[in-house]
Amino acid sequence: MVKIIAIANQKGGVAKTTTAVNLAASLAVLKKRVLLVDLDAQGNATMGSGVHKNELNYSIADVMLGDAPIEAAINKVESNYKVLGSNRELAGAELVIAEQEQREFILRDALKQIENNFDFILIDCAPSLNLITVNAFCAADSVLIPMQCEYYALEGLADLCQTIERINQTLNPNLEILGVLRTMYDGRSALTKDVSEELEQYFGDKLFQTVIPRNVRLAEAPAHGVPVMYFEKSSKGAVSYLTFAAELVKKMKKAAQKQAEQKQGAKS
Ligand SMILES: Nc1ncnc2c1ncn2[C@@H]1O[C@H](COP(=O)(O)OP(=O)(O)O)[C@@H](O)[C@H]1O
Ligand SMILES: [Mg+2]
């Protein structure tokens, strides 16, 4: 069954898009069928995947406004995953969507039509908790939170967790936090270590073991329109995102097994 993961943090610059693009490519290497949905009007995940945001046949805004069937908006990219692209039209679309009935479920209903074609659907969210991001939370099974281990990292995290909790209790009872990924990690910095420890205490086993180090190749790859592994395969950035993808797949498999066992236990 498809896993739909929203990659979110209302802070900008914490590597949401970098994680979305490189996780998509890494899962594709693991032979998973992946759709990356760019849900940020900046269109960085679109461009970073090698699809020009201003030359889209149809964007996610067209799909959410009902102007295009979702199949027609999906682009195939060389890195073996598919992309539903975005551009500034999404900012305008939000106002129109806000007037609609069922306005929180527009993305969910659109994805339902194609979700069986994929093992993973990753949604790259904008740095905001607006209606478009709420659509991501209503479509998703879980939220992946990339975080930079800096002094203010934990600030704002409570808001994000509260929003996820509120949506879980009202609009989408399936929604849960998948985990927290430490990005731009500098193991030599005492501050990074302090914040990292705090995250461990706060999130326990929801904190992924893999950390993504600071790596200039990760910052350079988007200018070439490719995930880092197609830019420099042996870079620390490429290796760490592959390791992370493997950890994530393993964790999800374990969780599914546990759930199946619990179901079995409840029956007998
Ligand atoms: N591990 C990393 N090492 C170095 N630079 C990074 C790393 N992760 C992200 N970046 C850079 O940091 C900036 C913000 O990342 P981005 O993924 O766009 O964040 P967000 O989507 O959360 O706003 C970008 O310029 C990106 O290339
Ligand atoms: Mg981004």
User: Shortest CA distance to 61 belongs to which of 85, 78, 26?
Assistant: 85
N-to-C CA span, the chain: 25
- Tell me if residue 44 falls in helix, strand or coil: helix
Residue 36 sits in a domain of what CATH number? 3.40.50.300
Say yes or no: CB of residue 183 within 6 Å of ligand 1.
yes
Phi and psi (nearest 5°) for 42? Answer: -70, -20
Nearest ligand, CA 16: 1
Looking from the CA of residue 18, the nearest atom of ligand 1 is 17
Please state the domain count of the chain: 1
CA atoms within 13 A on the CB side of 168: 13
The string of pLDDT tens digits covering residues 116-141 is 999 999 999 999 999 999 999 999 99
- Tell me if residue 5 falls in helix, strand or coil: strand
Looking from the CA of residue 240, the nearest atom of ligand 1 is 1
- Tell me the best of 18, 240, 244 to mutate to test the pocket of ligand 1, counting ligand atoms within 8 Å of each CB and taking the most: 18
The domain in which residue 26 lies consists of 3-267
Distance CA 217, CA 22 (A): 12
Query: Digits of tens for pLDDT over the chain (268 positions)?
Result: 999 999 999 999 999 999 999 999 999 999 999 999 999 999 999 999 999 999 999 999 999 999 999 999 999 999 999 999 999 999 999 999 999 999 999 999 999 999 999 999 999 999 999 999 999 999 999 999 999 988 787 888 888 999 999 999 999 999 999 999 999 999 899 999 999 999 999 899 999 999 999 999 999 999 999 999 999 999 999 999 999 999 999 999 998 899 899 988 888 7
Q: Residue whose CA is closest, atom 8 of ligand 1?
A: 15
In the numeric block, the tokens 């999800």 are attached to: 252
Question: How far away, in angstroms, is 167 Cα from ligand 2 center?
Answer: 22
Kindly list the distances between the CA atom of residue 19 and the CA atoms of 13, 145, 188, 243, in Å, as whole numbers in the listed order: 11, 10, 22, 12
Looking from the CA of residue 9, the nearest atom of ligand 1 is 22
Q: Is the dihedral of CA 29, 30, 34, 37 positive or negative?
A: negative
- Looking at residue 153, what is its pLDDT? 79
Nearest ligand, CA 183: 1
